[in-house]
Amino acid sequence: MRKIIIVLTLFLNLFAGHAQNTDMRIYELVNSSNWFTLAKEYPQLKDSIQYDFVRLMAEAMIAQNFNREDEATELFRTLINSHQQQIGSNAALSLTEIILGNYERSGMYELAAEKAYNLIEQIKSSGAPVDYSNLIEIHKRNKALSKYDSTMIICNNMKDMAIPFTMEKTDTLLFDNQNPVPNRYYIPVTIHGTTHQFMFDTGATITYLSKRFADFVGVEYIGYSYSNGDLGYLDSLELGDITFKNVIVLVHNGTPLDSVCTIDAVLGMNLVRKLDELRIDNKNNQLIFPAKQSKMPEYGPNIVRDASQLLFVEATDTKGLLTVLLDSGAETGFSYHYFTKHRNELSQLRGTKEIVGGTVDGFHSTMALHVPSVKFSVCNQELEMKDVYVPYMKGRSTDWHDIAFGIDFFRRYDYVTLNFKEMFMVIE
């Protein structure tokens, strides 16, 4: 989904109306996608907000990014229906796309397809010079998905459920040319009575299968493709005593990374976050889905989901807030974006080397500085990482975050709790 187009319109409207400092503060936080600070400051700011649409925008964005999508949808609808003149038509279109995405993730495919189609027809008939290509894709995808029921969870176990994991993939006899990624979380997942090892990856927004594995387990292709693969349907998938029915997966069509390692199956967060809470027990090598959720820590919500459904944790250093991705399917890595925030001190360093990385989307390389130590605060704890490499040349444009906390971050703690209902993370 493209970045929400609200900032310029909101900026102009605020200045035109001589907005108060509070409204401008809301604008600044929304414009910078600073959801953690917005959520913390909003309770003190809300009573002095001048414009109703600014209040609605703040509340909607907080709800959307802290996993309260039903609440966010209603607030966005009110914004569009009652304040379109103030927010502008481009913003209204972008907010509508968010609503349709919420419908899709809730399994309301037919409704999303219908709403997208109706809006496309309205734009066409109006003759307005509006780019509605995103709407076309939303309609096509949800039209294809509407043949299927929404994902359901069946679990009769009312106790904590523990799923064992290994750090190496051991079921390598299914295919030739197996070279699995080492040092990752691998968990048992059962499909049609046969158990396979899936990588568990907090950085995977959707459950991922290689084409050879998808064909082996009988995935039904739904008739919608992305640039990197096809959407598919599995009637069921079992994780311990939990059964997921009507599972939507991404079947990848292969990348240059396949020549180095093989990734046949990844359990994505589109399924895991439906279980409300996950505890990674590194002492006993198991994932625990507790029957009773953990108590919210004193520091409150500290993880958000962005527009692409990636998970980010709140972290700070001497430069302020950092954008930190949670990605257990990779090693911890720093980005050029981090370098730009710390250019003055990092530019004094001299040790450099080329670093090469890879994802399911292929390889990337860049030049990086050796940094003896970096320190920051996360989950109310001080953290130091030694001998890291920070790119000083711009690499992939998609790396807009500062740091990706990878498997080595997760493994440094005995327990890592991710609560998707209240949106907090605890490390112990």
The verdict on 214 and 198 lying in the same domain is yes
Q: Is residue 44 part of a domain?
A: yes
Q: What angle do CA 307, 312, 317 make, to 5 degrees?
A: 130
Say what the pLDDT of residue 5 is.
43
Q: In the beta sheet, which residues pair with residue 189?
A: 196
Q: How far apart are CA 84 and CA 78, in angstroms?
A: 9
Q: What is the CATH number of the domain that holds 140?
A: 1.25.40
What's the 3-state SS for 251-289? EECCCHHHHCCECCEEECHHHHHHHCEEEEECCCCEEEE
The verdict on 132 and 165 lying in the same domain is no
Q: Is residue 41 part of a domain?
A: yes
Say what the pLDDT of residue 399 is.
60
The verdict on 414 and 324 lying in the same domain is yes
Say what the pLDDT of residue 121 is.
96
Q: Is residue 218 part of a domain?
A: yes
Q: What angle do CA 199, 204, 207 make, to 5 degrees?
A: 70
Q: Is residue 296 part of a domain?
A: no
The verdict on 49 and 141 lying in the same domain is yes
Say what the pLDDT of residue 3 is.
46
Say what the pLDDT of residue 141 is.
98
Say which DSSP state 200 is in: E
Query: Number of structural domains, the chain?
Result: 3
Q: How far apart are CA 406 and CA 331, in angstroms?
A: 4
The verdict on 221 and 170 lying in the same domain is yes
Owning domain of residue 17: 7-145
Q: Which residues of 353-374 are buried (b: 16+ CB within 10 A; e: fewer)?
A: eebebbbbeeeeebebbebeeb
The verdict on 113 and 218 lying in the same domain is no
Domain boundary among 104, 125, 145: 145
Say what the pLDDT of residue 85 is.
83
Q: In the beta sheet, which residues pair with residue 197?
A: 188
Residues of the chain short of pLDDT 50, as ranges, are 1-8, 11-12, 397
